[in-house]
Amino acid sequence: MAEKIILETRGITKYFGGLRAVYNISLKLNEKNILAIIGPNGAGKTTTFNLISGVFPVSSGNIIFEGKDITKTNPAERCHLGIGRTFQIMQPFEDMSVLENITTGALFGRHKYSLKEAKQKSLEIAKRFGLFEYKDFVGSKLPLAYRKKLEIARAYATSPKVMLLDEVMEGLNPAEAREMIETIFSLRDEGISIIMIDHIMFTIKELADWVIVMNYGEKLTEGKYDDVVKSKEVIEAYLGKEETC
C-alpha cells in the first residue's frame, strides 16, 4: 500500500472498573480516507473515540498519530496536533451562540487564531455548514439536524487533520442525510481523514473506504464494505437486532 497512515491504534483496551468496554482494538486510518466503525449498541465504538481523542486514558495499548506516539498526551494536546471530534450526545456550549461555539474551536484549535481571525473564520465556517441563518441562536435551541451540523462545524473550526464523527447521521431525514454525506465527502476532499461511527448501512456503503465491525468491545472483522456485510460474524452480531435502516 502506497497510502500514508495518519492515525493508528495498537491494541487499545479500556476497562471501566470490571467492565471491559474496549478490548485490543487495532486500526489504521489512511490519509484522506474514510474509515467506518459499526457495531451494535454498547459495542464500545464511542469509547474507542474517547480513547483516541484522549477523553479517557487507555488501560493499555498505544495510539500513534503521524508517526508519533500520543498515548500519554491530554485531549487539548491532541486537538492541537490535529484530532477533532464530534459527540454522539450533542453538547453545544450552553451559554454561547452558534457562532461563539464555532469561534471557540478556531481560537483554541490547531492554529490558535487570534480573536479577530477566529471571528472571521467562524463566519466562513457557519456559512459553509449551512448554519449562517442560525448563527445567533443558542446551541441547544437548534433543530436536531442543525445541532449535528454545529457539532461538525465546531470540530472543523479546530483545523483538524483527522475528524472523528460519532453518529452524525442518526435521526436525520433522507434529504438531511444526503446533505450530510456530501458534507463528509467535501471534508475528505479537503484532505481531512475521517473515522465515522454509524448504524446506517447505505451511508457507510457510499462513504467508507474501509469498515471495522465491533462487538462486545472487540474487533469482529474488518474489510471493504461489501465483504464485511457478507461475513458470517457480522450477520450473527446483528441478527435479531432492529433493522438497520
Ligand X SMILES: Nc1ncnc2c1ncn2[C@@H]1O[C@H](COP(=O)(O)OP(=O)(O)OP(=O)(O)O)[C@@H](O)[C@H]1O
Contact residue for ligand X among 3, 11, 16, 224 (CB under 6 A): 16
User: Could you give the angle at the alpha carbon of 228 between the alpha carbons of 30 and 209, nearest 5°?
Assistant: 25
Residue 76 is a binding residue for other proteins (CB under 8 A): yes
Quick one: which of 134, 127, 124 has its CA closest to 98?
A: 134
Contact residue for ligand X among 25, 39, 82, 184 (CB under 6 A): 39
Residue 154 is a binding residue for other proteins (CB under 8 A): yes
Only segment of 22-30, 64-72, 81-89, 201-209 that touches other proteins (CB under 8 A) = 81-89
Q: Which is nearer to other proteins, 40 or 105 (CB)?
A: 105
For residue 46, the minimal CB distance to Mg ion (Å) is 3
Give kind and range of the element (H or E) at residue 145.
helix 144-156
Residue 57 is a binding residue for other proteins (CB under 8 A): no
Only segment of 34-42, 71-79, 137-145, 178-186 that touches ligand X (CB under 6 A) = 34-42
Quick one: which of 211, 89, 79 has its CA closest to 156?
A: 79
CB count in 10 Å sphere of residue 96: 15
Residue 57 is a binding residue for ligand X (CB under 6 A): no
- Judging by beta carbons within 10 Å of its beta carbon (0-12, 13-18, 19+), is residue 68 exposed, middle or buried? exposed
Residues 45 and 23 sit within 8 Å (Cβ to Cβ): no
Residues of this chain that bind Mg ion (CB under 5 A) = 46, 88
Residues of this chain that bind ligand X (CB under 6 A) = 16, 19, 21, 39, 41-47, 88
